[in-house]
């Protein structure tokens, strides 16, 4: 694609737009109408993207704010516009409706759809208490509490108005069948987040369904507040239903015509129950519903399948919803029950419904999120093996490339178009280009590292002060040492941050602290380890791993004679992720193969040129390139059924940790003794990995998967990204 970064001609006053659902900000009326018309067009050539979580915090990507800052707009005589400007410049900048990779991927995907002008809308839930906020205490470990946030004050979020009574909010009515034939109607409000393109010339609307109304029934309220609330199976089941059941009423109220529903994981699968019921009613009418045959249900399901595209994200059990038949019969009705019996049956556990199996059965296309994950998914679901294709994940490069790195890319002549076309990094193959970039890049990296180290040292100080005022024991041993012992910039810094699930093995590198310390002492080289991440509040084993990280700090410090410093940074979110992936010198990924289906934090590091040190799992099988972009370690043999176990005694700590200790000395030597070769490895990441592991390329593959008919112009620009890489290359991996 060769659209140059345009100097957008529209004045700030023209970024107000409106329709019968409200007044919005960030794109011109013309752009707003173009997108809305596409989504309501009778041809149905648009996609409804459904995800339990969407991570798109305005603090890491904020094109409207950038525009205000670029034009130095700080206030306005028009009070309505002034309020908007203040909100975008100073409003809260977190939308805590995500738990980790799945949500962040959804957000990144939607941003690329917006950048590429693909007609997509998204649907998720609004969680008034977010996921959860994390406090960490060195004695207790993780302490979780509800997140406080105000959708009303958050830029880019707008509550839809009722077209018939514009003073009031839009109310949608959502049917739930709780054991009766007549539905209970539950009311919800709707928030729209505008996911605006980098050029402000398009957007993807994300609709967040807000069930927390004062008159909501108790069973709705208890499931509405918190993402992945797992206090009971019924809350979990209801939360999934609240997503799945809202889709059709929402599309209906908006007049949206999408013929395709993309299920990002199986969480929203109950939409298919409603679609099948609709088909049956259209054919037989309500009266005959009791008399239909199984074959009629299956025929209706087959028609519904044509509307569904399904992405499976993990081989790990916790990612797949199962509910007992008994529990579910109290929250559905006869036709749903029969449909579930036919299509959600589990071949191994007969008293449960398996919603992943159901999603496998009702769709027109299935994809995994990397090549290796495709092969693993085929093994897990052999009956659907022919259908399962790979579309390897990516990340939104405009979100994840740090400001410092961005500035030096913009100053490199051959990378001038990098904002609109991440494939231009491929031109760094030309030595001339790389040598122009190298010194600037090195300086940007140094600055990003300095920034991260300052952030950590400031945090250590804050924790120390807090200890005097609160009951919290600082999570880091370093807080108790003199400041001269805190972190220094320029020291080799390894980052690790992701959800604390046991299969991710955060503590693998500390499996043998004696051996790790001996390596540092033998080379007489220091390392900082920076760790962050949250464990799901109900995941006790995950919390134990987090606690173990805290417990290892002091031992590592003493045993390595102060050469090894391990810091845990509480409150992992997108902003911290961005600070870490650009400020460290290497990104560590040590899951048990093949349980990390893709992993995306390592791609964010690669976007900043930061090399990965990783197990050959997920995306790294594709991003490794024979040692040019980083290091691999650990088991990489064939994948058998037994490897899918997450049982503690099958997690292969000893073997894989030993393999990591084997490569570590050469990494340290490269960093400290051959900095030019280390820098080359970084530049190789820009050249080899940015063109592939970005969501523009991924979105282009999804457009093909959807079979969307686009205008010729658009087809051409998207085709450019599709030609960069083919996730679904022929044949399978070992």
Contact positions toward ligand PLP, by CB under 6 A? Answer: 100-101, 104, 498, 572-574, 577, 599-602, 604
Q: Shortest distance, CB of residue 94 to ligand PLP, whole angstroms?
A: 11
Sign of the torsion angle spanned by Cα atoms 514, 515, 521, 524: negative
Whether cis (ω within 30° of 0) applies to the bond prior to 594 is yes
The closest alpha carbon to 266, from 348, 202, 353, belongs to 353
* Three-class SS state of 260: strand
When the beta carbons of 98 and 310 are compared against ligand PLP, the nearer one is 98
When the beta carbons of 383 and 538 are compared against ligand PLP, the nearer one is 538
Q: What is the dihedral of CA 510, 513, 519, 525, to 10 degrees?
A: 80
When the beta carbons of 132 and 176 are compared against ligand PLP, the nearer one is 132
Tally Cβ neighbours within 10 Å of residue 215.
8
User: Dmax of the chain from CA atoms?
Assistant: 81
Cα–Cα dist 485/410, whole Å: 37
> β-pairing, 365-368 with 492-497?
unpaired
Q: Shortest distance, CB of residue 463 to ligand PLP, whole angstroms?
A: 21
When the beta carbons of 48 and 398 are compared against ligand PLP, the nearer one is 398
Q: Shortest distance, CB of residue 601 to ligand PLP, whole angstroms?
A: 3
Q: Shortest distance, CB of residue 600 to ligand PLP, whole angstroms?
A: 4
Cα–Cα dist 389/217, whole Å: 42
- Nearby residues of 316 by Cβ (< 8 Å), 6 or more positions away: 501, 503, 595, 646
Q: Shortest distance, CB of residue 489 to ligand PLP, whole angstroms?
A: 23
Q: Shortest distance, CB of residue 573 to ligand PLP, whole angstroms?
A: 5
When the beta carbons of 106 and 657 are compared against ligand PLP, the nearer one is 106
Which residue pairs, CB below 8 angstroms and at least 24 apart, start in 314-319?
A: 314/595, 314/597, 315/373, 315/376, 315/377, 315/380, 315/594, 315/595, 315/597, 315/644, 316/501, 316/503, 316/595, 316/646, 317/646, 318/501, 318/539, 319/265
- Nearby residues of 607 by Cβ (< 8 Å), 6 or more positions away: 395, 397, 400, 401, 581, 689, 690, 693, 694
When the beta carbons of 604 and 696 are compared against ligand PLP, the nearer one is 604
Cα–Cα dist 264/104, whole Å: 12
Q: Shortest distance, CB of residue 492 to ligand PLP, whole angstroms?
A: 21
Question: Do the beta carbons of residue 112 and residue 421 sit within 8 Å?
Answer: no
Q: Shortest distance, CB of residue 418 to ligand PLP, whole angstroms?
A: 21
Cα–Cα dist 637/617, whole Å: 11
The closest alpha carbon to 419, from 433, 432, 403, belongs to 403
Helices marked H in 381-512 — which ranges?
A: 397-400, 403-410, 431-469
Q: Shortest distance, CB of residue 357 to ligand PLP, whole angstroms?
A: 25
* Three-class SS state of 650: helix
State the Cα angle at 55 between 581 and 474, rounded to 5°: 55
- Nearby residues of 123 by Cβ (< 8 Å), 6 or more positions away: 48, 49, 50, 51, 206, 207, 209, 243, 246, 247, 250, 268
When the beta carbons of 47 and 60 are compared against ligand PLP, the nearer one is 60
Q: Shortest distance, CB of residue 412 to ligand PLP, whole angstroms?
A: 26
Q: Shortest distance, CB of residue 619 to ligand PLP, whole angstroms?
A: 9
| 3 half-sphere exposure, CB direction, 13 A CA radius | 18
When the beta carbons of 58 and 100 are compared against ligand PLP, the nearer one is 100
Q: Shortest distance, CB of residue 260 to ligand PLP, whole angstroms?
A: 26
Cα–Cα dist 199/372, whole Å: 35
Question: Do the beta carbons of residue 643 and residue 594 sit within 8 Å?
Answer: yes
Q: Shortest distance, CB of residue 257 to ligand PLP, whole angstroms?
A: 33
When the beta carbons of 227 and 574 are compared against ligand PLP, the nearer one is 574
3-state secondary structure 309-347: EEECCCCCHHHCCEEEHHHHHCCCCHHHHHHHHHHCECC
Q: Shortest distance, CB of residue 59 to ligand PLP, whole angstroms?
A: 12
When the beta carbons of 343 and 615 are compared against ligand PLP, the nearer one is 615
When the beta carbons of 176 and 619 are compared against ligand PLP, the nearer one is 619
When the beta carbons of 572 and 702 are compared against ligand PLP, the nearer one is 572
Q: Shortest distance, CB of residue 623 to ligand PLP, whole angstroms?
A: 12
Question: Do the beta carbons of residue 353 and residue 340 sit within 8 Å?
Answer: yes
* Three-class SS state of 173: strand
* Three-class SS state of 264: strand
When the beta carbons of 297 and 615 are compared against ligand PLP, the nearer one is 615
Q: Shortest distance, CB of residue 671 to ligand PLP, whole angstroms?
A: 22
The closest alpha carbon to 320, from 273, 394, 370, 265, belongs to 265
When the beta carbons of 172 and 588 are compared against ligand PLP, the nearer one is 588
When the beta carbons of 96 and 564 are compared against ligand PLP, the nearer one is 96
When the beta carbons of 121 and 395 are compared against ligand PLP, the nearer one is 395
Question: Do the beta carbons of residue 18 and residue 203 sit within 8 Å?
Answer: no
């Amino acid at each position: 694609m060769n659209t140059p970064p345009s100097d957008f001609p529209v004045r700030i006053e023209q970024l107000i737009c409106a329709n019968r659902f409200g007044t919005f900000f960030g794109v011109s009326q013309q752009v707003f109408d173009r997108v809305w018309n596409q989504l309501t067009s009778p041809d149905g050539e648009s996609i409804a993207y459904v995800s339990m979580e969407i991570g798109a915090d305005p603090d890491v990507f904020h094109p409207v704010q950038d525009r205000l800052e670029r034009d130095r707009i700080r206030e306005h005589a028009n009070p309505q516009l002034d309020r908007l400007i203040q909100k975008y410049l100073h409003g809260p900048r977190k939308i805590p409706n995500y738990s980790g990779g799945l949500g962040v991927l959804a957000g990144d995907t939607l941003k690329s759809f917006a950048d590429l002008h693909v007609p997509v809308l998204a649907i998720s839930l609004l969680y008034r208490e977010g996921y959860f906020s994390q406090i960490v205490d060195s004695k207790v470990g993780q302490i979780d509490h509800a997140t406080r946030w105000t959708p009303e004050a958050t830029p880019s979020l707008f509550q839809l108005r009722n077209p018939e009574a514009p003073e009031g909010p839009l109310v949608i009515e959502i049917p739930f069948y709780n054991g009766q034939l007549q539905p209970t109607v539950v009311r919800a409000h709707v928030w729209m987040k505008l996911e605006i393109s980098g050029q402000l010339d398009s957007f993807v609307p994300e609709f967040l369904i807000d069930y927390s109304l004062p008159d909501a029934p108790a069973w709705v309220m208890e499931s509405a507040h918190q993402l992945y609330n797992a206090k009971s199976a019924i809350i979990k089941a209801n939360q999934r239903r609240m997503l799945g059941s809202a889709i059709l009423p929402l599309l209906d109220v908006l007049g949206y015509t999408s013929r395709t529903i993309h299920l990002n994981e199986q969480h929203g699968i109950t939409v298919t129950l409603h679609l099948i019921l609709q088909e049956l009613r259209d054919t037989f009418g309500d009266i005959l519903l009791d008399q239909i045959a199984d074959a009629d249900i299956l025929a209706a399901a087959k028609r519904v399948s044509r509307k569904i595209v399904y992405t499976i994200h993990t081989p790990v059990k916790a990612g797949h919803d199962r509910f007992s038949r008994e529990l579910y019969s109290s929250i559905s009705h006869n036709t749903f029950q029969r449909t579930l019996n036919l299509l959600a049956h589990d071949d191994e556990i007969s008293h449960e419904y398996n919603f992943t199996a159901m999603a496998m059965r009702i769709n027109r296309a299935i994809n995994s999120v990397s090549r290796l994950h495709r092969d693993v998914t085929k093994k897990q679901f052999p009956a659907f093996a022919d259908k399962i294709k790979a579309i390897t994940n990516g990340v939104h490069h405009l979100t994840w490339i740090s400001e410092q790195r961005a500035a030096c890319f913009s100053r490199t002549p051959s990378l001038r178009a990098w904002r609109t076309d991440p494939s231009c990094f491929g031109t760094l193959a030309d030595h001339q280009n790389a040598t122009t970039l190298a010194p600037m890049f090195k300086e940007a990296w140094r600055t990003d590292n300095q920034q991260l180290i300052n952030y950590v040292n400031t945090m250590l100080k804050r924790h120390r002060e807090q200890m005097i005022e609160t009951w919290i024991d600082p999570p880091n041993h370093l807080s108790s040492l003199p400041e001269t012992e805190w972190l220094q910039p320029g020291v080799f810094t390894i980052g690790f941050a992701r959800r604390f699930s046991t299969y991710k093995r955060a503590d693998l590198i500390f499996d043998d602290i004696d051996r790790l310390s001996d390596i540092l002492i033998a080379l007489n080289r220091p390392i900082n380890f920076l760790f962050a991440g949250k464990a799901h509040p109900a995941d006790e084993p995950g919390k134990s791993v987090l606690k173990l990280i805290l417990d290892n700090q002091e031992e590592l410090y003493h045993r390595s004679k102060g050469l090894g410093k391990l810091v845990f940074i509480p409150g992992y979110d997108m902003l911290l992720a961005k600070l870490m992936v650009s400020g460290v010198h290497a990104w560590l990924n040590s899951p048990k193969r093949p349980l990390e289906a893709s992993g995306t934090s390592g791609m964010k590091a690669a976007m900043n040129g930061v090399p990965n040190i990783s197990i050959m799992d997920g995306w790294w099988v594709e991003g490794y390139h024979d040692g040019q972009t980083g290091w691999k370690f650990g088991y990489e043999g064939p994948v058998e059924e037994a490897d899918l176990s997450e049982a503690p005694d099958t997690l292969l700590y000893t073997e894989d940790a030993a393999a990591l200790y084997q490569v570590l000395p050469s990494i340290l030597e490269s960093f400290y003794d051959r900095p030019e070769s280390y820098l080359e490895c970084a530049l190789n990441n820009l050249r080899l990995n940015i063109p592939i592991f970005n969501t523009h390329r991924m979105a282009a593959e999804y457009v093909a998967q959807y079979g969307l008919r686009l205008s010729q112009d658009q087809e051409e620009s998207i085709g450019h990204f599709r030609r960069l890489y083919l996730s679904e290359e022929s044949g399978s991996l070992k």
